[in-house]
Amino acid sequence: MPNLQQVTDVLETLYPLRYAESWDAPGLIVGDLDAPVTRIAFAADPTRAVVEQAVSGHADLLVCHHPLLFRAVHEVSGAGVHGAIVSELYRNGCALWVGHTNADAAYRGVGQAAADAFGLLDQRPLTPIDDPESAHPVGTGRVGRLAEPIPLRDFAKRVAHELPHTEYGIQVAGDLDAPVRTVAVLPGSGDSMFDEVRASGVDVYVTSDLRHHPATDALEQARWEAELRRRGLHAGSGDKHMRPALINTPHSAIESLWFRYALEDVPAAVQARTGQSLTAWWITMRTDPWDMVVR
């Protein structure tokens, strides 16, 4: 059977650590490299409930998108929840590997999985990474087109339908009757990328965690440019409609679409490299934090 070193080598071939942002620290977080791996669980977040489910399923390895230790820590004692999780993993022989911004940018990674789910064709990265070792375009986010234009309201329903259920759903800003032809997708927190999205000239931007001020500024600029175009002046891109419209999605929900691919790709790559088969499953419990929405 493969050991943890062999499986992490596969993971870091599929989702190279060199793609990670400078502030990020993905990779192996917990585990003994010579430990055998026969069962892998995938989940968006390494919460206590997720870890308990992985352990109860006798997982040897838990692969998550979000880090357990997002910021610097100086202790992992039982006084804190992170220490409790590390202890639970080690006591039960379950390793933890994280594919964060490296998996965002990879081929068949987080960005591509979401863009494919929403029906985008002719895709390219929103911010490319120059990687001569990759046979495919890689980078953060995806830009593509729909097979046929559809109104924003219908495209928003498509997005909502593809996402795992959350209590607070999605939010949409823009002309609901405007045709959507081109789309930018950035799973995860995306309001730092408005300049790149506007430069791409897309009709709608699908992302998460949009804060009030950046989103308001982006919408106001889009409305003003649309008004200038209606006056016959050159501003921005497109026709009379404001661009881009915004679709704000639950953070972990959109990123978890990646596991549709990882569930196939990781066991297949391990089999190809080691000749050994693995059991893999997706822990689909909701890990977005909100339990109730009051309107």
Output the known binding site.
65-66, 104
Strand order in the sheet with 61-64: 27-30, 95-98, 61-64, 39-43, 279-282
Residue 235: phi, psi to the nearest 5?
-160, 125
Annotate 163-200 with b (16+ C-beta within 10 A) or e (fewer): bbebeeebebbbbeebbbbbbbbbbbebbebbebbbeb
Cβ atoms of 90 and 3 within 8 Å: the answer is: no
- DSSP character string of 125-177: EEEEE--TT-SS-EEEEEEEEEEEEEEHHHHHHHHHHHSPP-SS--EEES-TT
**Of 81, 89, 32, 101, residue with least CA distance to 62:** 89
Q: How far is residue 171 from each of residues 112, 144, 176, 202, 265, measured CA to CA in Å?
A: 21, 21, 12, 18, 32
Q: Annotated binding site for a divalent metal cation, which residues? A: 65-66, 104
Q: How far is residue 28 from each of residues 19, 81, 182, 239, 277, measured CA to CA in Å?
A: 15, 19, 37, 48, 21
